[in-house]
Amino acid sequence: MASYQIDHRGSHYDDLRAGTIASMLANVNRNSKVKPEPWGPLDFMTWNESRQADVAETKPVLLDDPEAQGNLILSMMFPGKV
């Protein structure tokens, strides 16, 4: 807390560090034939400015049948369980 008051570094730097570690792990296990370009730290930080443009373009999937909608949600949240 006192360090943040002095140099104003905080959670944004922590998030970037975590994104760096996540991107390193993803790149180690990446299939370069399927995804030729490497992952970057911002790819794992969904709340940054570059990702917000991608999120704004997506539209929800709405089905007419409520049971089919529920099954879709369950299959996305718990793949392989439904």
Query: What's the pLDDT tens digit per position in 22-76?
Result: 999 999 999 989 989 998 988 888 776 655 555 556 678 899 999 999 999 998 8
Predicted TM-score (pTM) of this structure: 0.48
What pLDDT does residue 77 have? 87
What pLDDT does residue 53 have? 54
What pLDDT does residue 76 have? 86
Residues 39, 30 contacting (CB under 8 angstroms):
yes
What stretches of the chain show up as alpha helix (H) in DSSP? 2-7, 11-28, 49-57, 66-77
Name the DSSP class of 38: P
Extract the tokens encoding 13: 């730097």
**Distance, CA of 49 to chain centre:** 13
Return the domain boundaries, the chain.
2-77
